[in-house]
Every structure is written in C-alpha cells, then in structure tokens.
Chains A and B, each alone.
Chain A
Amino acid sequence: MMAPVPLFTGVVSAFMPVARILMLAGLCLLVMLIEGTQGAVPLLLLMFLAQALVFMALWLLVAALAARLLGRVSPRRTAVAVLALLAGGAVLTASVDLYRTPFRAGGLRAGLLELFE
C-alpha cells in the first residue's frame, strides 16, 4: 500500500501510494457530503476509487505470487524475507523522496514521513 503507483487525472501526473489515493477519494467524499455533488467532484471520486481498486488488485496479485514463491522455502526464512522486505521498503520510502504528489501543499516530492503532512 505504500509502494508508489502512478495516478492519472489527465490534468496532473503523480506517483503516490494507494493509501494516498484513497485519502484523496475520502476528501472528495467529504466535499460531496458537506457542499453537495455539483460539478465534477463525483467524477473525481470515481476516478480516484477506480485507480485505487485497480492498483490494490495488482498489489494483491503480486502479493499472492510472492506468497506462492515463498511457500517453497521454510517458514523461518519466509518470515525473515518478509521482515527484511518490509524494513527495506520502509527505510527506502522514508529516506528517499520516492513520491511525486502535486496535491501536497508542502512540496512536489516527498518521502513517506512527509507524504501525509
């Protein structure tokens, strides 16, 4: 969920985790609840949700394939590999500005720690 995926809106291009896209969808939903459904807000919401669902499905597929591959090795080694992967991913996303999200006020590029500021 924290690995960056492309976001297509036509107007801007972005590279952000699915969780971030879901957050943007949630903001659109709040706007609709508070201010009504006028304009393209429902379309934006649908666009965010559709892309989030597609990328979640893709990651699910990747995870299933990885699990199948790891099933051939011992559980102990699997646990180590998964933990190492998660730790490496966390260090990488936190230390490198992997994400490109023009939707932030604070900057175009961000690492994991600044992403949801």
Chain B
Amino acid sequence: MTARARAALAFALLLAAPRPGAAAPPAFERTEERAPCADYAPLRKVHFGDLHVHTAFSYDASALGVRNTPRDAYRFARGEMLGMQPYDDLGNPLRRVQLRRPLDFAAVTDHAELLGEVRLCGTPGAAYGSFMCTLNRRWPLLAYLIVNSAMLNVANPTRFSFCGPDGALCRAAALGPWAETQQAAEEAYDRTAACRFTSFVAYEWSGNPFGNMTHRNVVFRNHVVQERPSSYIDHRTGAALWERLYAECLDRANGCDVITIPHNSNLSGGLLFPIEDEAGNPIDAGRARRSAGIERLIEIVQHKGTSECRVGGPFAEDELCGFEQLPFARMDQYPFESWWTEPPARVYTREILGEGLAQGARLGVNPFKLGIIGSTDTHLGTAGLADEDLFPGHGAGGDTTRSEIPFVPDRLFSNPGGLAAVWAEENSRDALFAAMRRRETYGTSGPRLTVRFFGGWSYPDDLCAGGDVAAAGYAGGVPMGGDLPPGPSGDAPRLVVQATADPGDGARPPIPLGRVQIVKIWLEEGGPREQVFDVAGAPMTDAGVDPATCELRGSGPPTLCAVWRDPAFDPAAAALYYARVLEVPTCRWSNHTCVAHGVSCATPGDVPDALAYCCHPGIPKTIQERAWTSPVWYTPAAAAGTVDAAGGRVMVSGHDG
C-alpha cells in the first residue's frame, strides 16, 4: 500500500470513527496538506516538546564552538544520538548525548540578531577577512564579550561596518540560514499518518535594552512564514516586533499564522510586559488587543531559571517560589555578588498575570493573558535534554566547552530547563499550534508529568472517583487556558486537576507525585492578590531520594486528582486559577555530578576544587520537579461584555485569538 493510499485509508477511518458528541471539544482547523494522524484523539492527548532551541546559527552558540545545525537539533529531538563540543583535531566530537525518549515536537529558535553576520564571518568572501570576523574566529570568547555588550545589551544596536551601508550585506546574508532553518524543519516534520514528530519554523527576537532581556520566541503555524526574521537590531521593542508580524504574516491572509512566546521575564527588569507605551502613556485597548492576539504563552522555566513567583512576595509563605530561581536581576550582574539586585515589579509570571487582570479591568482587554510552557533554551542543539542526570550544560552566555570537557557541566545557578506540554488531538502542526493559541498547554521542569486541569461550575465532588475526567472536564467546563463561562448566581467555580506521574523509561523508574496545588490570583481593591491551596497529596510523603546515591526511596502515589471549590469566591472580582503539581524530591543535576565523581565530604582534602560546591550547604542537593498549568480565567459578568474580548476570542485580522 502506498503512502498516499495509507493516508486516504486513515482519513476514511477517521471520518468513520465514532466521536463522543457533546464531550468532545471543537476540532482544530487544518491549514496544510498532509495525512491526518492515525491516532487522532478527540479528547486530546498530551505531547511533549521543546520550543526554545539554539544551534550554531546563533551567534552566541557559534562563538562558543557549537557546530550542530538546526538539522542536527531535529535529529536529536527525534531520538538520534548527537555529538557535541569539544571536537578533536579531526573534527570528531568528544561527547555524545541522546534523549531517553524522543520528543513529540520541537522548534529551533536561533537568534534573529547576527544571523547574517555569523554566516558572512564563516564563509570565505568579502566580509570574511574583516577585522571583526577575524576577531571572531581567532579570539572567539573576546569577540563574544565584545559583541554581546556592544551589539545586543544596548538600547540602540547598530550593525558592524562589514555589513555595508545600512547593514544590507548582513540582512541579505541572513536569508541563507533562514532558508536552511525552514528546510530543516520541513525535513524533520513527519507528514505521514504515523505523526511521529512535528517541527515548527521559528526564531528568537532577542531584545536586550541595557542588559534587560525582553526576548521572545516567534513560532509559525506552518510553512508560510516571514520572508526574513525580525531582529532587535531592526525592530527594537516588543510592540515593533508584533507590528512587523502583523504586517508580514497575520494581515496577509495567505495562511500565515504566528505567536510569540516571551521568556526569562525573571531577567527582564520589568520591561518584558510594559504597561506604558513608548511615549510613556498607559497602554490603550488597541495596544492590549494587538498583543493579546499574538502573545499567547510564556516560558516559565528554562536554563536561566524559573519565573513563577517572587520569593518573599505578597504571599510570602509560598516556600516553593525559590525553585531554580536566579539570585540576580540581570545576567550581567552575575559575576560579582555585590552587583546583584532584587528584580523589580512585573518580572514573575504571577505578577504579570495579576497585572493582566488589572489591565483587563481598566481596558476591557487583558494584554497579558498568557498560557504556560517550559523549554530548555539549549545552545548546543540538544532539544529537550532536560533530565537532571543527563545534563551536559546548555552552553549559553559565555560558557565555553570549546576545548575541554568541563568537570561541572554548567554554572551552578543554571538548570537543565524544562519541557512544553501541549494537549492536542494529534501530533501535527495545525493541532499543536491551535492548542498553543488556545493556551491548552503547561510547562514542566523536565519530567513528563501528565496534568489535566478544567474549570466549570457543576463538576461533581466525586468526579475523581472513577469518572472520566477528560470527558466530564470538556463537557462541563473549559480546559486550561480557557475562560469560565458565566456561572449560576451565588455559586463558586470548581476546578478539577488530575495529575499522573512521569511513567519513567528504561533507565529510570517513575517518580511518585508529592502534592497538587491550585494558585488563585484575583483582583481586590484594584490590585492583584494571590493565594496557594493544597488540594491533593501532602507536603511530606514517605518517598524521597538519598542524596548520597540519588537512589529513590519509599513510594508515593502515581496519580493525584481533586475537585476543588473556591472557598472565597467573589463573583464581582476578576480571577484566575492555575495548578502546580510537585513530584517528591529527587537529585539536582549538580548533585548527580557529585555522586558521579564519588565525592566524599568526609575527606575534604580529596575533593577537587571544581567540586568543592558538593560539600557546600548552600547548594541544594535535591529539588522538587514540577508542572505548572496554564490558568483558567474568570471575568465578572458586569465586565464580561467588554472583557469577553480579553478572555475568550480576540478577533485579529481573521485570526481567532
């Protein structure tokens, strides 16, 4: 049977298959020609991926000796072994890595900035012999420090002189790697009915005014994309980026669709989600609507820390906010502790979501209505390598393993990053992208936890005791990322959360769950408030880990489920709810390194200097891996007429927000 015939048969079977009528949510729209997936699931299934991956096409990665290309990154994401730096004199990699489980999807997101410069400096030609290109090849780390500070950590970046008048040479040169990125994505995309892997064409816009990260990944729905990626050098604000994306994609009515996913709000200095426009005026409803139509998700965890909530914030007793959090406000502060400062307002996801409620009440449109994902931000092409015990470092920000395998694979404050989890009917671009647009996503710090989260008004208390949570969840309410429909007077919303442990793989057993929490953020007296509720499991369980061996001990539940009713619901106050699911403690990557080297703190004289941290009480030996769901929003009925746009369907140039 030919592939075409198999596809036709699969499609026929799909059409003939019985569908659960009222329980199934509306299906996604197909925009591309491909075989429908054989394992289409009307009630959706979870897919794990990485939407933040850099390769040698990114300037910082290339300067640090990375040779893996987008094609290599996709090979790795699909489960193949990948070589990585350092390389010997013959060009053979001295390290090899492989995922234990392939990813379902990935997006290579190389920096749009300097895309052409990297190509020109690496290709014999007019610019190859220029001073800056020579500097880059012969003194790459010095070049990195200079270029990073002079080109990107400034408010008004300019191009190098070798780029010619108005940077035309470098802009033109960027078309080459951009085309190769698209080609690599197309080759990796499984268009057969097997639907084993989905790739997205994407890039990263890396705004960095004065060292404050306002970075955003730009992810396209299908193969119809911008002619060239927009860079911070040419478009210097998030708003300018969005306008470019509207003009060159969304407004073209040619099948192009795109979202942006900001990341590292923890290092943004509060500039990632401005509440004033460039002229200093409060943002208006039009601006809010434009951003809400395109900025749908936020990356809550990655290599450079988590961005969930502030330690010692307004809900100070949330002791879990410190998980993999950086102790400084900007990356350029990290070399000296005396430089560290407290991050300003609106850098943590909870603060941003709360501000969104406040802006929504003021404008009638919530500009910061964001779903949650995690990703790695690897700069080695190692998509989805978020396992603590496999962590080879992610190679960002000046770290160089160009010449030597390091004792400790990364800076101690870094972490392996996380994964994006997407609930979709099938593993195809259209299905996954539609899920991302409706924010039916969650982020994990690495494990493949399965988490369902629904909001409604009438879920029975005993739903978890044998009921079909997914069917009942869709039939009686909305999934994560959605808006609660108007409820009966005097009633409070019910949230259903069902979490299943990572099943593990051949090398690792399942890790039991610890507890499930629901975080509520609401408006009170004009400002956001937040509270965390334990709804299932327990803070302390029998299960845990022996830090000396990293062996799991004890046992715990593989599944936790709860139906929770908000005990302090105010129907007049805008609110949102998201779930946080915690595993029992396991070893942090840095402790895996200590165990692998057989460090014994009983004989400190035998501990190598590079591993002295192993015996330092300030470096955590264990962590609690976790998942964060996208929120479910509630908008008061009085405001729903206007805020409906903020919540549910922002119509932007024909694109259903």
Residues of A in contact with B (beta carbons under 8 Å apart): 9-12, 24, 27-28, 30-31, 34-36, 38-41, 43-44, 102-109
Contacts and interface: CB of A to CB of B under 8 A. Distances in A.
The 4 closest A-B pairs by CB, nearest first: A10-B335, A39-B150, A40-B149, A39-B149
Contacts of A31: 131-132, 135, 146, 150
Interface stretch (B182-190, B382-390, B397-405, B493-501): B397-405
A61 B385 CA distance: 52
B153 A40 contact: yes
B145 A105 contact: no
Contacts, number: 79
A38 B150 contact: yes
A44 B145 contact: yes
Given A38-B154, A105-B137, A27 B142 contact: yes
Contacts of B150: 31, 35-36, 38-41
A80 to B, nearest CB: 39
Interface string B133-158: 00101111110011001110110011
Nearest to A106: B403
A43 B332 CA distance: 13
Contacts of A9: 145, 335
Contacts of A40: 145-146, 149-150, 153
27 contacts: A9-B335, A30-B131, A31-B135, A31-B146, A35-B150, A36-B150, A36-B158, A38-B150, A38-B151, A38-B157, A39-B150, A39-B151, A39-B153, A40-B145, A40-B153, A43-B149, A44-B146, A102-B403, A103-B139, A103-B142, A104-B403, A105-B402, A106-B403, A107-B404, A108-B400, A108-B404, A109-B403
Given A31-B135, A40-B146, A44-B149, 8 more contacts: A10-B335, A31-B131, A38-B154, A39-B146, A40-B145, A40-B149, A102-B403, A104-B139
A39 B153 CA distance: 7
Contacts of B531: none
**Which of A31, A41, A44, A106 has the most C-beta atoms of chain B within 10 angstroms of its own C-beta?**
A31
Contacts of A10: 335-336
Nearest to B137: A105
Contacts of B135: 27, 31
A10 to B, nearest CB: 3
Nearest to B63: A105
A53 to B, nearest CB: 19
A102 B145 contact: no
A40 B147 CA distance: 9
B139 A27 contact: yes
Given A11-B398, A39-B154, A108-B404, A34 B149 contact: no
Contacts of A107: 403-404
A39 to B, nearest CB: 3
Nearest to A48: B142
Interface of B: 131-132, 135, 137-142, 145-146, 149-151, 153-154, 157-158, 160-161, 335-336, 398, 400, 402-404
A57 B215 CA distance: 44
B146 A28 contact: yes
A73 to B, nearest CB: 40
The dominant DSSP class at the A interface is loop
Given A31-B132, A38-B150, A102-B400, A11 B138 contact: no
Contacts of A36: 150, 158
Nearest to B135: A27
B403 A34 contact: no
Contacts of B142: 24, 27-28, 103
A45 B146 CA distance: 10
A4 B612 CA distance: 25
A38 B158 contact: yes
Nearest to A24: B142
A36 to B, nearest CB: 8
**Which of B149, B150, B161 has the most C-beta atoms of chain A within 10 angstroms of its own C-beta?**
B150
B336 A102 contact: no
B160 A35 contact: yes
**Which of A12, A35, A38, A107 has the most C-beta atoms of chain B within 10 angstroms of its own C-beta?**
A35
B456 to A, nearest CB: 51
Nearest to B151: A39
B160 A108 contact: no
B153 A34 contact: no
B131 A34 contact: yes
A108 to B, nearest CB: 4
A103 B141 contact: yes
A41 B146 contact: yes
A9 B402 CA distance: 19
A106 B149 CA distance: 24
A48 to B, nearest CB: 10
Contacts of B131: 30-31, 34
A27 to B, nearest CB: 6
Contacts of A44: 145-146, 149
A108 B405 CA distance: 10
Contact of A35 (B132, B403, B404): B132
A102 B399 CA distance: 10
Contacts of A11: 145, 335, 398
Nearest to B404: A108
A27 B137 CA distance: 13
A102 B65 CA distance: 11
A36 B132 CA distance: 12
